Chains A and B, each alone.
Chain A
């Protein structure tokens, strides 16, 4: 049920910069009004400017709209227009329902009146009737946590108490549409949390909320939609997350302009332009230019977050130099070196026997891993043989790494991470999972190792097929179950096809082959295996094995160091999985990041097919 609560149509509002002119306009406009002369407000007179210029948007029922803007963008003016405090100069506002505005908490508070008296005063001012205030009085006091201070004058309250009281009164007005201007940034964390919960309640009751804040995290959490105001115009109206990224970029662009503005000014004063030298030895070499190149190899002020970073420095070498050493850094806004490299670290790239000439040094970073932000290149050039420093400079040649649309700037470096959340699995020692087994049931233990799980399965009298390819582990298994007719041991591995494969042993397996047998794997890229230490093993096709058994299987346990993904995919695709009552799998994406995506895909597949008998979180 969508309904438009607020419709703003080509709204504009102007103000006057000059105080004297403002007075003059005010008096002349008022005298015209007295004389009954109509005058229009839709053009700008000298010294006037549009604080809001041609704003149009709608607020739907149940929507929480965030409004952010660089200071002076007109946000508070917009709130006042929506509240009816200021009249518009152009355009129209339509409001369906009553509006409550939290523009400044505690409006009308008299310092000599008690908290209780002020509740009645402020509540009435905000539009509540006496009866309403009587009914909500206790709720207001509870929320504000001011039971003891109710009968003392508000002048004795701390600023936090005043805010709590003012906010509590306003929030209990329960208007259809709530306008909130920055007031959630006050109070201690407990109170802020309470206030956020209250705002959330509003959302759920499908009222409308307009929320102005500088706290981008709050906006991201609470708002369904975001409008960015810039110098009185709407810069963006859409998805909250995209808006935040765009906003951060815009703020950085403004900052960069200011910094560049300062740099240009510095250029006039400082003949070395972008360079702010720390140390210089001009006889051997001299800086000319520094900065970054864009993807077209042209000096630029910005690159994208996924672009290569091509750092360059032009300098003039005046004398012959046998060996040159460069120390190149990229600093963040607080001058912390995030990237710092030298060409002669471990002889990465040596430059020898240089003749006097103009040179361009380029240092290319195919993956710079910088988050969107403003950075400064800096450099030192030294004699590679003697270590003498010829030129060393901090620079103000700042550049901007721009977001590519979905990269919020957080932290110092850009990473690609995987998120996993699993409930703490049933302990392998918890026998309940095997409780339902009875004599005559079939159980399969793949990756039996030394037989801990096999033993539990066999305890219940089930017939257990235990697969273990590692010879050292198999030896232990054989000893353990030599007298048990129900346990059938197979010295082979399992996979999705019949194959001979090397089994890579754990790095430490020479020291203690049995202990480390559990970590051996057919997957070469498992981190803790030694790829030069392997045994050839035979693998069977588990799907075929199950089909050959031609009977229902009570439990299948898979702990096969990474091979489980392919095996399960085959069992699901060929539908042998339906023959198994319960499948317990230990996955290995934590140890092998390459498996992360395949494991994730498998989880999705299992969920989509509704295969609830497969437990991928078993340990």
Chain B
């Protein structure tokens, strides 16, 4: 059974927008074994040369908890009334924020992680994006368990919405990956891009009410919080799990819509451009 393949200039731009989405999805499914192999390669190997090994996956979040709890008990932070014990609030919120950041960081390295072999072998590069995401999810999964332990130890019982976490994460992935994919493409051309992007993203943390509550802050900050889709994508799941309620669910849905739209645009852009920039990866 022979399959005919044609290579022509600009061929990827010639197929339609929605066909691109379908193609990417089909390619990702076809590459599931590859995603798994690459995931095993990078995930398991990252702790190979250390004594603690995979223990770092637990130790990392624990160190985070400790630093937040210490700062709170020392009265360094004045976050206001957040409705639940502050350490729980900030830990869970920063975990979700951390997931967003890690999705962004890893997706902006989509092409770069395969630098050693991307010019030697032809394979579906979409696999790299999903493999990156899978790695981040695994880390988040572990930190989620620790979060639940912390919650329980502070007397906070997470609501049943915690079971929806896998779904609630998806829009976060979409938003992070849309920026990440664009950065990945541009980073193969110039290293200026990733540096600028990192800077902007760290600013982003301040205009997202992760470690504070928006209510009693200055106007410009409240405005930023209001129009920032990340606000809803991060605080929505957090509030849902911690309190069983979400304020502004309509804005949350709008944010999901925006994130999905951005992701599809970024995916299209990635699909058209990636082959052309790979040859510049030296």
Dominant secondary structure of chain A at its interface with chain B: mixed
Task: Report chain A residues within 8 Å CB of B279.
Answer: 15, 86
Query: Considering residues B6, B8, B48, B116, which has the most beta carbons from chain A within 10 angstroms of its beta carbon?
Result: B8
Interface string of A112-130 (1 = CB under 8 A from B): 1100010011001111011
CA distance in complex: A40, B10 (Å): 8
Which segment, of B78-86, B140-148, B170-178, B268-276, faces chain A? B268-276
Tell me which residues across on chain A come within 8 A of B218, comparing CB atoms.
Answer: none
Are A27 and B7 also in contact (CB < 8 A) when A84-B122, A85-B119, A104-B117 are?
no
With A23-B190, A108-B121, A125-B123 in contact, is A96–B277 under 8 Å at CB?
Answer: no
Q: Is the CB of A22 within 8 A of B280?
A: yes
Q: What chain A residues lie within 8 Å of B157 (beta carbons)?
A: none
Stretch of A29-37, A368-376, A599-607 contacting B (4+ beta carbons < 8 Å):
A29-37
User: Which of chain A's residues have a CB closer than 8 A to the CB of B114?
Assistant: 108
Chain B residues with CB under 8 A of A598: none
Task: Choose, from A87-95, A336-344, A480-488, the stretch at the interface.
Answer: A87-95
**A90-B117 in contact (CB<8A):** no
A104 CB contact (under 8 Å) in B13, B34, B120 = B120
- Tell me whether B4 and A125 are in contact (CB under 8 A): no
- Give A219 to B139 CA distance when docked, in angstroms: 52
A94 in contact with B4 (CB, 8 Å)? yes
Whether a CB of chain B sits under 8 angstroms from the CB of A356 is no
Bound CA–CA A92/B6 (angstroms): 7
B121 and A107 contact, CB distance less than 8 A: yes
Q: Is A129 touching B33 in the complex (CB atoms < 8 A)?
A: yes
Contact A97 B49 (CB under 8 A): no
**Given known contacts A85-B278, A112-B45, A124-B34, A41 and B9 CB-to-CB distance under 8 angstroms:** yes
- Shortest Cβ gap from B97 to chain A (Å): 27
Give the total of A residues in contact with B, Cβ under 8 Å.
Answer: 50
A42 to B9, CA, bound (A): 9
Pairwise interchain contact B4-A33, C-beta atoms closer than 8 A: no
Residues on A with beta carbons closer than 8 Å to the beta carbon of B38: 108, 121
Give the complex CA separation of A109 and B168 in angstroms: 35
Q: Is B189 an interface residue (CB 8 A)?
A: yes
Kindly state the separation between the CA atoms of A113 and B42 in the bound complex, as whole angstroms. 10
Please determine whether A176 and B2 come into contact, CB atoms closer than 8 angstroms: yes
* A113-B277 contact, Cβ under 8 Å, with A88-B9, A92-B7, A107-B120: no
Contact B7 A120 (CB under 8 A): no
Q: Is A393 in contact with chain B by the CB < 8 A criterion?
A: no
Which of B8, B122, B275 has the largest number of chain A CB atoms within 10 A? B122
Task: Kindly supply a per-residue 1/0 record for chain A positions 475-494, scoring 1 wherever the CB is within 8 Å of any chain B CB and 0 otherwise.
Answer: 00000000000000000000
Residues on A with C-beta less than 8 A from B7 are 81, 84, 87-88, 92-93, 95
CB neighbours (8 Å) of B188 from chain A are: 26
Which B residues, 205 to 249, have Cβ-Cβ distances below 8 Å to chain A? none
B27-64 residues at the A interface, CB under 8 angstroms: 33-34, 37-38, 40-42, 45, 48-49
14 more A-B residue pairs beyond the given contacts A104-B117, A121-B38, with a C-beta to C-beta distance below 8 A: A26-B189, A27-B186, A41-B10, A80-B119, A85-B275, A86-B278, A87-B9, A92-B8, A96-B3, A107-B116, A107-B117, A121-B40, A124-B33, A125-B34
Which 7 residue pairs are nearest across A and B when measured between Cβ atoms? A107-B117, A26-B189, A104-B120, A93-B7, A107-B120, A112-B48, A84-B122
B interface residue numbers (CB < 8 A to A): 2-13, 33-34, 37-38, 40-42, 45, 48-49, 114, 116-123, 182, 185-186, 188-190, 269, 272-273, 275-280
